Structure 1
Amino acid sequence: MPQNTDALLPIMTGQPVIPVIVLDDAKDAVPLAKALVAGGLPAIEITLRTDAALESIRRVADEVPEALVGAGTILNGTQFDQAVDAGAKFVVSPGLTPELVDAAEGSPVPLLPGAVTSSEIMAALEDGYSLLKFFPAEQAGGAAYLKSLSSPFGGVRFCPTGGVSAKNADEYLALPNVLCVGGSWVAPKDAVTSGDWDRIAALAGEAASLK
């Protein structure tokens, strides 16, 4: 079944930067989400890299209705189902496997899978996926490499993540095949740990103004 682009496209075009969040403590999830929303970044990707991730997603989904919480670093069908059960509104993966395709089939929650090489992109297209994550962006060749993909894969649009920062985000956003970028710089770990939500809201505001 083709990718649920009707649900995913508005998320990718709704803001230039999707915050990529790693949380060690679920108590930080709600105030962090509120700060990001206040800055103009309601779509938030909480990665399943810690034990607190699913509970963090659940709390944001339950307590911050103005946020659009997603789940990242989804590696298999079980994690896809867990994220959806926790309340994730979109799911992000660094790659794409038949198991993930099966898990996403028919789900109202859209999947944004990763692809880097031409073969990976072609395989994704065969499965009906044309909105893709490009990860790890900087390590895989950066904006120059991604630009080179725009000619052979004219119908594919990307969200580059990995090494993207306030310093280079505009290079990616200027590309014709990039809809948005993913980045962790809008929620620095020290700011989350110290509860400096005003700083995070300010960083989100700056990111939301990128073109």
Structure 2
Amino acid sequence: MNANTSLTALQVMQDAPVIPVIVLNDVAHAVPLARAFLAGGIRMLEVTLRTPQALACIEAIAREVPEAMVGAGTVRSASDAQAAANAGARFAVSPGYTSAVGQACRDAKLALLPGVATGSEIMRASEDGFTELKFFPAVQAGGVGMLKAWGGPFFDVKFCPTGGITLQNAPDFLALPNVVCVGGSWLVPAQVAESGDWGRVTRLALETKALHQ
């Protein structure tokens, strides 16, 4: 899979047991962080659009670390999707779902993991052709029990639970047949970027890669 190949949402989910949820406040941290993840065997990197520097960070990773697959998180509008694509993002993750965001990602050729927390939201996303979904906020919205309950009526839907996931509870989610991967911010502790302890990121990535799907 090279940098010019279009991704599917399922490919994004299947690449590793976890998609790191990354908040970056300094563009200088983007490239070394991406390289640290690659060293730990994780390529799919979700950089959230929660800081003024996020798009510049995505652009830097896409340009300097093309073997990584950088995506944009917290995509809330069609303009977010287009800006992410323009910056070089390969996929998008949204905290909720609207048809406008779904269509914008299709137009921009971005694989999309739409966020859902209810059965109605799953049905709405599925109607628009999205059956690989982010369950968010996973722990707060019902956790493992909710995913088990959804396994019957939504037997054809695959999930990436995100929100409240830790290295400790990730195996409980990954053991479910309708869970392909999880999203987690634990791989980038807040102090790591400030201290430049990229080795710790690589160690956490390797530890996470060892989780069985």
Smaller-chain TM-score range? Answer: over 0.9
- Matched residue, 2:117: 116
In the alignment, the residues of structure 2 paired with residue 162 and residue 149 of structure 1 have an alpha-carbon distance, to the nearest angstrom, of 18
TM-score of the two chains, using structure 2 as the length reference: 0.95
Say yes or no: does 1:57 pair with 2:39. Answer: no
- Matched residue, 1:98: 99
- Matched residue, 1:182: 183
RMSD: 1.2
Say yes or no: does 1:78 pair with 2:79. Answer: yes
- Matched residue, 1:207: 208
Deviation of 1:189 after TM superposition, in Å, equals 1.0
TM-score of the two chains, using structure 1 as the length reference: 0.95
Percent of matched pairs sharing the same residue: 52
Question: Residue 91 of structure 2 contacts residue 110 of structure 2 at CA under 8 Å; is this kept in 1?
Answer: yes
Instruction: Could you list the structure 1 runs, at least 4 aligned residues long, displaced by more than 4 angstroms after superposition.
Output: none
Deviation of 1:106 after TM superposition, in Å, equals 3.9
In the alignment, the residues of structure 1 paired with residue 165 and residue 45 of structure 2 have an alpha-carbon distance, to the nearest angstrom, of 16
Say yes or no: does 1:11 pair with 2:2. Answer: no
Q: Which residue identity is paired with 2:167?
A: A
Q: Which residue identity is paired with 2:133?
A: L
In the alignment, the residues of structure 2 paired with residue 106 and residue 50 of structure 1 have an alpha-carbon distance, to the nearest angstrom, of 25
In the alignment, the residues of structure 2 paired with residue 156 and residue 71 of structure 1 have an alpha-carbon distance, to the nearest angstrom, of 22
Show CA shifts across 1:54-108 (max 9, x none): 0000000000011100000000000000000000000000111121122123432
- Matched residue, 2:193: 192
Mapping of residues 22-171 of structure 1, within 5 Å: 22-171=23-172
In structure 2, list runs of 5 or more residues that go unmatched. 1-5
In structure 1, list runs of 5 or more residues that go unmatched. none
